[in-house]
Homo-oligomer: A and B are copies of this chain.
Amino acid sequence: MSLVVVGSMAFDAIETPFGKSDKIIGGAGTFIAWCASNFVPVKQISVVGGDFPQEELDLLTARNVVLEGVQIKKDEKTFFWSGRYHMDMNSRDTLVTELNVLADFQPVVPESYQDCEFLMLGNLAPSVQLSVINQLKNKPKLVVLDTMNFWMDIALDDLKAVLKHVDVLMVNDSEARQLSGDYSLVRAAQKIHELGPKFVIIKKGEHGALLFHEDKVFAAPALPLEEVFDPTGAGDTFAGGFIAHIAKTKDISFENMKTAIIVGSAMASFAVEKFGTQRLREISVSDIHDRLQQFVQLATFDISLV
């Protein structure tokens, strides 16, 4: 049984108030794979062009990321995105989007991926996400979907179609409001429940994340950082940590999802410390455990004396 990840593998060029990157490795699928492979093997579904470095693929293979589902289109170019972050690091302008191989991406699920128990659908066109679900012969134990306002703007019907098959939806607060049409996040989560996902995770960046399920709610903090160097991929890394903990423990209870959100938050707190996937490539198991302990210190309190 396995974790299958679907997501873009890309080149990014990033400008922040603190600096500017060259054309570096990015993409939702890349961040998810670098993050999740700290915890469990990953079976990756994606597409790249002939310009994508073989050594990057080899590095992932060495980390137990299976690439049989990654199509390499020799004569085409890899997806490229360039953006500039504002001072608050929450808002950004897209400078360049070259879809390239993503423009007509038809994902193919290899036979060896049919043991998929946990499915992480990274941010991509909802029709691509749905195609992967439809190719699986057995329903996974848990399907998690990450998406963004862009797809709500141009492919809302497709998004609603795929949401019917999704257990856990991840969006940010403004996207939850857009999708539900409700300003109150509590009511927004209730309305999203009705679209399919029984669990709704609302990402709030520096303010942490909320998990809603039935009448229950969990609030995870974000680690206050002196500097957020590059927020690119933070949400993807969060998703990777979340699904990896679930896949490792094979426990889809609300209580274990709380832990999974803390794992995701801890991993995301690393991702923003350097440009792109750099920090995720450096950290050790011991760094991760230290960071998790920081979250315990950050969030633990005792009301027995009240």
Interface residues of A (CB under 8 A from B): 87-88, 183-187, 204, 207-208, 210, 216-222, 224-227, 245, 249, 251, 255-256, 258-259, 261-263, 289, 292-293, 295-303, 305-306
Question: Do A303 and B296 touch across chains, with their CB atoms under 8 A apart?
Answer: yes
Q: Are A216 and B263 in contact (CB under 8 A)?
A: no
**How far is the CB of A192 from the nearest CB of chain B, in Å?**
14
- On chain B, the residues within 8 Å of A299 by CB distance are 218-219, 299, 301
Task: State the Cβ distance, A63 to closest chain B Cβ, in Å.
Answer: 18
Chain B nearest CB, measured from A2 CB (Å): 20
Instruction: A88 to B204: give the CA distance in the assembly, Å.
Output: 15
A224/B208 in contact, CB under 8 A: no
Contacts A/B (CB < 8 Å), 10 sampled:
A88-B183, A208-B208, A217-B224, A217-B298, A219-B299, A249-B305, A258-B302, A259-B302, A261-B301, A263-B303
How distant is A43 from chain B, measured CB to nearest CB, in Å? 22
Q: A263–B306 contact, CB under 8 A?
A: yes
CB distance from A16 to the nearest CB of B (A): 13
Which chain B residues lie closer than 8 Å to A302 at the CB level? 255, 258-259
Shortest A303–chain B CB gap in Å is 5
A292 touches B306 (CB 8 A): yes
For A208, the chain B residues whose CB sits under 8 A away are 207-208, 219, 221
Report yes or no: B298 in contact with A219, Cβ–Cβ below 8 A: yes
Give the docked Cα–Cα distance between A216 and B210 (Å).
Answer: 23
Contacts of A186 in B (CB 8 A): 224-226
> 7 tightest CB-CB pairs across the interface, nearest first?
A219-B221, A207-B207, A258-B301, A186-B226, A292-B303, A186-B224, A219-B298
- CA of A304 to CA of B301 in the docked complex: distance in angstroms? 17
Which partner residue on chain B sits nearest A295 by CB separation?
A: B303
Contact partners of A226 in chain B: CB under 8 A? 184, 186-187
Tell me, in angstroms, the Cα distance from A255 to B300 when the chains sit together.
9
CB nearest to A183 among chain B residues: B87
New A-B pairs, 8, CB < 8 Å, besides A259-B302, A292-B306, A296-B303: A87-B183, A184-B225, A186-B225, A216-B297, A218-B299, A219-B298, A258-B300, A262-B301
Q: State how many angstroms separate the Cβ of A283 from the closest Cβ of chain B.
A: 14
CB distance from A282 to the nearest CB of B (A): 20
Give the chain B neighbours of A300 by CB distance below 8 A. Answer: 258
**Contact of B210 with A303 in the complex, beta carbons under 8 Å:** no
